[in-house]
Structures are given as structure tokens and as C-alpha cells.
Amino acid sequence: MKKYILIIGLIISWSAKASDEITIVAQTDPNDASTKCGNDCTWKLYSDGRFEITGTGAMYDYGQKHGINTNWAVDGSPWDDYIDQIKSVDISHGITTVGNSAFKGALNLKNVQIPEGVVSIGNGSFMSCQMPEIKLPDSLKKIDAWAFAESVFSKIDIPVSVEEIGRAAFWGTRIGTLVLPDLLKSMASDVFYASTVNTIVISDKLSNIDQGAFNGAIHLQSIYCTGDVDVCKTNVGESFADKVKKASIKKINGVTYVVDNKGKIVATSGHRTEKRIYTIDEANQVAGKINSVSIRYR
């Protein structure tokens, strides 16, 4: 009996020690206003770098305690002093917005979970971040000004639900290809200024493009139009009309493939809805007439 009691005691002791290793390192008294990040949502930062936002409704908008002057709110976020410790962000279902400047300068942020129900990414929310990939929810309607400025991504898909992209949203962002959704209603100026984007896909339905939307997009080589090319040329403006090329779209298993007039895949967007290998027929549908086209499975 004593032997069993000793073993149980050791297990309890080990469990307590393990749980102590992941503690809340940044959150004040739950009754303190600095714990709140919205009227009905609160935040926690754990010692392993996990940052959690729970609750419902919109997040508060924040400004910057450090850096350049802006016309945003004067005060930075309550976690601004811990921004370098944040490695992942988990936003719970029920939250509807990501606040202005919420995670600006989170250089060690590698993973973000944004749930369905979030409708807007605020001013500078993820400015100067470095993430391999970010998945935006299909409920998203607006990407506000400077939202992803000066960030680094290997991939970012803009959901078909997005209707508005604000000024300088991808200013200085390191990204190769962007597929803009058909429902996009407006795109402000300087969206791609100083970014590394080289390929952009648009629809002829996107007519409300600011004449300065592509200002400073020095790496932009191709603007693929999935509709009427002449309409797209008019919409992007005279300075970038010569970069507009014809393209078509094929959608298979949740992934959108953008194919040029030679049958080559020039861009992809989305994620496979089923974790399975494509059939030969499906692969041929994507490849079109060009046998040399390769498909990278996710």
C-alpha cells in the first residue's frame, strides 16, 4: 500500500511541476481594466508564448507606445511591454474584430488562429510581424490600412468574402503572390508600396481601385485578369495596364488555381477541403493541356 501511495504522490508532484512550467506571465487582477481588451473580452499571455483572447464582440483599438507618430489611439496595448514574448495568438470564437495595432511588432509571432466571425483586421494589427503563413477566416470583410505592412509571409490567402483593402495594407510586405477576391469592392492607395509582390490576380469586377493602389510596387511583374482584360487594364490605370494578362480559374477540392493562356499555373489560393490525393482525372483538369505542370499537394 505504501508503495502505491508513493507512486501516486510522485505522479501528483510531477503533474504540479509540469503545470507550473506554463504559467500566466502577463495578466493583472481580473477586475483590473488592463486585463480587458474589449468591452466583453480579456487577454492572457502564458510563459510558453501563447497569447489568448477570449470573450465576445470587438477588441479595443490601440496605438503605439514606441515608433513613428500616427493618428491612431494614443495608448499602446496592455501587453505592449511583452510583445517580444508572444509566439502564438489564439482568438476565441465570438470575437468580431482584431483591434488596431494589436500585435504590431510581434517579431516572434509564428502562428495565429483567427476564428470564423471576425469581420475586420484593424489598422496595423499585424504590422512588422514574421509568420510562415496566416489563414484568414471566410467571414472577413475588411483588411484595414497598414494591417500587414512590413510583415513577412510565405503565403497569405485573402478570403473571397473580403470587400475592402485599406491604404498601405501590404506596404513593404515580403510576399510573392496575391489572389484578390471577386467580391472585392474597393482598394485604396499605396496598398503594395515597397512590397516584394510580383504577381497579383484580379477580376474585372474590381472597378473601385484607387489610381495609386499599385504605387511603388516595383517588383510587380504580372497582373492576371480572370475576366475581361480590357476592363482590367482600365481599372488598374495606365501606368500598370501593360502588366495585365489574361488568366482563367479552376477550382478543385477547395483550391483555386489561376492558369495563364498557355495552361501554366501562375497562382493558387485556398486549402484543400479534403485530405486526400487527387485522382488522375482531377490532376489533368488542373494541369490542362500542359503535361509538365506540377501540383504541390498540401
pLDDT in tens, 15-29: 434 444 566 765 555
User: Across all residues in the chain, what is the average pLDDT?
Assistant: 82
Residues 223 and 267: beta-carbon distance below 8 Å? no
Residues 58 and 80: beta-carbon distance below 8 Å? no
Q: Look at 68 and 155; give whichever has higher pLDDT.
A: 155
Task: Inform me whether the pLDDT recorded for 288 exceeds 90.
Answer: no
Question: CA distances (Å), 10 to each of 13, 22, 23, 146, 263, in order?
Answer: 5, 19, 21, 52, 64
Task: Inform me whether the pLDDT recorded for 31 exceeds 70.
Answer: no
Domains contained in the chain, number: 1
Task: In whole angstroms, give the CA distance from residue 179 to residue 272.
Answer: 16
What nine digits make up the cell of 63?
496605438
Q: Is residue 41 part of a domain?
A: yes
Q: Is residue 297 part of a domain?
A: no
Question: What percent of the chain is predicted at pLDDT more than 70?
Answer: 76
Q: Is residue 103 part of a domain?
A: yes
- For 207-263, the pLDDT digits (tens) are 899 989 999 999 999 999 999 999 999 999 899 999 999 999 888 877 889 999 988
Q: Is residue 181 part of a domain?
A: no
Q: Look at 144 and 3; give whichever has higher pLDDT.
A: 144
What nine digits make up the cell of 248?
482563367
The predicted structure's pLDDT at residue 291: 39
Report the DSSP beta bridge partners of residue 110: none
Q: Is residue 217 part of a domain?
A: no
- What residue ranges in 239-298 does DSSP mark as E strands? 244-252, 255-260, 265-269
Main-chain phi, psi angles of 156, to 5 degrees: -145, 125
Torsion of CA 89, 95, 100, 106, to 10 degrees: 0
What nine digits make up the cell of 112?
495565429
Q: Is residue 298 part of a domain?
A: no
Q: Using the structure block, give the residue that is written with the C-alpha cell 510596387.
A: 217
Q: Using the structure block, give the residue that is written with the C-alpha cell 503535361.
A: 291
Q: Is residue 32 part of a domain?
A: yes
- For 36-69, the pLDDT digits (tens) are 899 999 999 999 999 999 999 999 998 754 444 4
Which residues are within 8 A (CB) of 146 and not within 5 positions of it... i.e. 6 or more apart? 123, 124, 127, 166, 167, 168, 169, 171
Task: Inform me whether the pLDDT recorded for 5 exceeds 50.
Answer: no
The predicted structure's pLDDT at residue 282: 66
Q: Is residue 38 part of a domain?
A: yes
How many helices and strands (H and E) does the chain possess? Answer: 3, 19
Main-chain phi, psi angles of 86, to 5 degrees: -80, 120
The predicted structure's pLDDT at residue 73: 41
Taking alpha carbons only, the member of 67, 198, 182, 85 closest to residue 124 is 67
Write out the residue range of the structural domain in which residue 106 sits. 16-136+149-162
